[in-house]
Structure 1
Amino acid sequence: MFVLPTTGAGLVLLVVLLFPGLAFVLVRERRSSERRPSAFRETSAVVFCSVATEAVALSLFAAARWLMPGLTPDVGRLLREGGGYATRHYAALSWWGGGLLLFACGLAVLAALLTRDVPHPSATSAWWVMFHQWFPGENPLVGCVLEDGSYVQGRQASFNVSADDLPDRDLVLVEPLVYRAPGAAEAVAVPWGAVCVSARRIVTMFVAYPEAATPEGAAGAVTPGSGPASP
């Protein structure tokens, strides 16, 4: 049973001890497919990561205490004497406590960096698969047929990383941009630097990958610039 602290100092200590888990979640959210887990699952991830990384940090402290007893705080005396020992050795306790917390946060950040680009397939969208999972780091050429019959093509610059395939999100394309108006026969180059396309208006999307990096089982790569002039 999880019991919340009843004093201000206890609450501050609880928040501080959850820093590693918070660092893990924040770093992972920066580059991974954005999911919307329940409050329980998100809280559990923060608590689990904090406990795991702090357990590793405390294990290393125990080893250091065994190897260098004269250079590490005496936890036994701290538990027996309480505030008296803490007052006399506040500098050492502060340095070791802060260092162990930073070490735990560093472990959490490292874990987030190692796992940020490998989300489970159930937690990704079609956009994430096309723009990141198959060719991470690439900015492929993208052509979109819109619901009014127009066509726009450009280099993918930014996309919404939500794991839900929702219509209320946008795709940003940058130059070289090509546009074909509704009813027109040919697509023409336009002088603008960027365009924002609403997912709600997209009927079909074409993505041109580097020819040498076509994933196994995927369709043959499209040569950049050869996107369809008409749907």
Structure 2
Amino acid sequence: MPTTLTGLLLLVVLLLPGLTYVIIRDRKGSERRPTPFRETGAVVFCSVLSELVALGVFAGLRAWKPEHTPDVGRLVREGVAYARANYVELAWWAAALLLLACALSAVAATIATRLPHASAMSAWWVMFEKWFPGENPLVGCLLEDGSYMEGTLGSFNVSADDLPDRDLILVEPLKYRAPGATETHDLPWGAVCVSARRIVTVFVSYPQPPASEGAAEAAGSPASSQAAS
């Protein structure tokens, strides 16, 4: 661990790409609870890898346009003297390479959240995000008292665990069927929050894919699905 303020700031800066990766992964992906060791390893690994790629880009630019890039050889030989004489140029290049490394980490996190394995996701995540990402499907919930609630998906808890202590938000148009009734009726409300603890079965109806995508893809994609909460 660094023992000075400068060393601490340098460590934080060097780990920024890994922190970017973790933040975007957690924001866009399903919520996970990795061990501190795995989380630290992900931050360090992603930081080192993205910074190596950024340095590789710099090396290519240095070989292509040496007159427009800092002289690494002089920096190594002269050290502080060269850095003081060229601190503005070095600062701009350091910031640019750091931003490039963070951008690479952000792209990697986005790709990782779009290609999750179903075994690591919750049933809600598979139905609401994996099969038709970006869509707002029609969701019906059969509750434990026999009632039925239907509406457009508003949001859902992104925990990777199928836990009962989570909520599902449905937005208008909302429909409700009371226990023992045979017909549903519209609700004059904008949204409703349904507790997963009360849900027995979830039904999902997806928007029909465009005809240009081909009948084979439409036939191969699930038109509707259900899963026990």
Normalising by the smaller structure, the TM-score range is 0.7 to 0.9
> Which of 202, 216, 220 matches 1:216?
220
Deviations 1:24-74 (A, max 9, x none): 121222221221111111111111111111111111212222233332222
Q: Distance in 2 between matches of 1:173 and 1:26?
A: 27
Paired residues for 1:120-135 under 5 Å: 120-135=117-132
The equivalent of 1:158 in structure 2 is: 155
The equivalent of 2:52 in structure 1 is: 55
The equivalent of 1:175 in structure 2 is: 172
Q: Distance in 1 between matches of 2:43 and 2:15?
A: 7
Contact 1:211 1:221 in 2 (8 A): no
Residue 89 (str. 1) matches residue 89 (str. 2): no
The equivalent of 2:194 in structure 1 is: 197
Contact 1:210 1:221 in 2 (8 A): no
Q: Distance in 1 between matches of 2:65 and 2:208?
A: 58
Please report the TM-score for the alignment, with normalisation by the length of structure 2.
0.88
Contact 1:169 1:199 in 2 (8 A): yes
Q: Distance in 2 between matches of 1:215 and 1:102?
A: 44
Q: Distance in 1 between matches of 2:42 and 2:201?
A: 37
The equivalent of 1:139 in structure 2 is: 136
Structure 2 unpaired stretches of 5+: 210-216
Structure 1 unpaired stretches of 5+: 223-231
Identity of counterpart residues, as a percentage?
63
Please report the TM-score for the alignment, with normalisation by the length of structure 1.
0.87
Residue 33 (str. 1) matches residue 37 (str. 2): no
The equivalent of 1:227 in structure 2 is: none
Question: 1:179, CA displacement in angstroms?
Answer: 0.9
